[in-house]
Structure 1
Amino acid sequence: MVLGPALPERALAWAQQNLAQQIVEVGPIGGGLTRTKWLLRLADGARVVVRWCDPTDWGDTGREHVRRETLACQLLAGSGLPVPRLIAADLDATLTGGPANLVTWLPGAVRLDRLRPAAVGGLAGLALAVHRQPVADERRPPVFSYRGPAEPEVPGWTSRPALWERAIDLRAAGAPSTPFGLIHRDFHFGNILWERGSVSGVVDWAETSWGPADLDVAHLCSDVAMLHATADADAVREAYLRRGGRLEPAEFRYWQVSDILGFLPDPGHILPAVAPARPDLTAASIRRGLEDLLAATLG
């Protein structure tokens, strides 16, 4: 058996107790920033995923990640959406030494290439389906949190400081009264799996929140703008509207600006995660893509 780095035997034993088949191989799942997930291959060839958060490294944040992902799997069970199925969870870490959950593995691969209109439409429709999921009041996840610095500052790398000053002032003016619902809260290309041109999975529900659907759309638009261009971000927003989504222009402007500010002080931090698939990207191109989106958003 090949053990994944830092996955303790307690967590592995707990996972085995919740599986009918023997675990024959364990390996870390890369591609993200948290490094808290491992892929377990079973004797019959099936695969499952365990998230385990070292309490020393992650503390309350790790517990919240596991709790929110567990809740999302429960809320979306039976929805027909391509999301992981929850197998087991140890939220209080009594059995695993750190908060953990065990979920089904979903097939597919991450895509960072430019999407065709049909794929954009399918992705927009999937986002809308998540946002329309009914959630009982007592089952709501926590309200979203703003990302980035509490008091954002004009980034030192920009040649358009006035643009960022406008953005900072807009967010400081306060949020509009946009309706809240279930959101993924980290809806970007790295958490979307594809097979044969269609979405086969939406994963990593660790930041599941109660908030405006605009935030999921805005986060995806930011990602697309950094990977490609503002026009591609516009196509995502327009596809969501065509599918029946609600994005009031003035309200969406606020949420898009808020999401962009969440990447400060430097959006270049996403480069290590995307560089293997997109060696053409640089910190400068990522900054330029985000700043161009900000300019278009503020008009």
Structure 2
Amino acid sequence: MSRHLDVGERIVRTESLHGGITAEMRRLTVGTPSGGTRDLVLRSFVDPFYVGHAEDSLNREADALTLLTGAGVSAPGLVAVDPTAAHCEYPSLLMTHLAGRTVLDDEDLETRVPLLARQLVAIHALRPAERPREYVALTTADTVVTPKRADAAVWGAATDVIRNPAPPYEGRFLHRDFQPGNVLFDVEPSRPAGTRITGVVDWAAASWGPADLDVAHCSVNLALLHGPAWGLRFAEAYEEAGGVLAATASERLYWQVRDALASSEEVQLVAQPWREAGRAELTTRAVEERLDAYVIALMDALD
């Protein structure tokens, strides 16, 4: 890391950052010759499974951060990347540190959800000189994991929805993992403006595809964190913020259901960081129950 510091600077402190699933995150505090400090963030792929995907993921994130420089969306600045661990112990990316923190509790959702929606509309409005690669959706009807005690009939009908070809769409710049865990907030009730977003992180899956896919992903995360009604509310908030979704209800349902069913394969993975962040009540079973209720709500809305 020291190769990328200014003359006279040195790393004086490191701190592990929690909440990630695929990589380890560390904040590096850098001491400056004037006696001040500045912070950087080091993202390292350590788990053997994710190391196998690290080169592609880190190159994509580096490309995305480069595209986002000066684009009007607050994202980390790229400092350096070592996708093959040529210089580091593990494949890593070094970036600037953004102020703010993630907020995962239920309090003040009425304020945060519209802010999330406006931020996502701003991301989808970006028109980079070079498009990122087309989105990839790995979940198929054969990989869906129906939770225990779930409504098997409803899940069967939902699975049939994604057996159909993807609807046509107008491409947009996608974050592809836009959800509360990747959005930083500055929460100051005494300030006239109150809560505000300070930045968006984790651009490793940035893609080109339908706006509905990003909206669906944030929706299901809100449903699992805060209850199904908030998942349904996010799509409305996105449109209220000026975003444009698929033209028909059936086309929207396709993307909503696709991302909800994709979450069925990762409930245990996503629930653990939430518990570590203080949401102890979000056990794997509790999150599965919320996912089941959300899928039922989506399918009911079509009737």
TM over 0.5: yes
**Where do 1:1-299 residues align within 5 Å?**
15-20=1-6, 21-43=9-31, 44-54=36-46, 57-96=49-88, 98-114=90-106, 115-136=108-129, 139-148=130-139, 151-153=142-144, 155-196=146-187, 197-248=195-246, 249-265=249-265, 267-276=267-276, 277-299=278-300
SS in 2 for 1:193: strand
Deviation at 1:282, TM superposition (A): 2.3
Q: Which moved more, 1:148-157 or 1:26-35?
A: 148-157
Do 1:218 and 1:259's aligned partners in 2 also have CA atoms closer than 8 Å? Answer: yes
Asked if 2 retains the 8 angstrom alpha-carbon contact of 1:266 and 1:287, the reply is no
**In structure 2, distance between residues paired with 1:128 and 1:63:** 29
TM-score (norm 1): 0.87
Provide, for residues 24-53 of structure 1, a one-character-per-residue CA deviation record: whole Å limited to 9, x for no partner. Answer: 122332211123322111113211011233
> Identity over aligned residues, as a percent?
32
Question: 1:106–1:162: structure 2 CA closer, same or farther, 3 Å change rule?
Answer: same
- AA in 1 matched with 2:76: P
| Count of matched residue pairs | 283
1:54 CA displacement = 4.5
How far 1:202 sits from its partner (Å)? 0.8
For structure 2, the residue ranges without an aligned partner over 5 or more in a row are 188-194
Give 1:156 deviation, angstroms.
4.9
Distance 1:172 1:45, change over 3 A: same
Q: State the alpha-carbon separation in 2 of the partners of residues 47 and 266 from structure 1.
A: 32
Offset at residue 173 of structure 1 (A): 0.9
- The Cα of 1:125 is off from its aligned counterpart by 0.8
**Contact 1:69-1:208 within 8 A present in 2 as well:** yes
Task: Give the Å deviation of 1:92.
Answer: 4.6
CA RMSD in angstroms comes to: 2.0
CA distance in 1, matches of 2:4, 2:275: 36
Instruction: Give 1:95's aligned amino acid.
Output: H
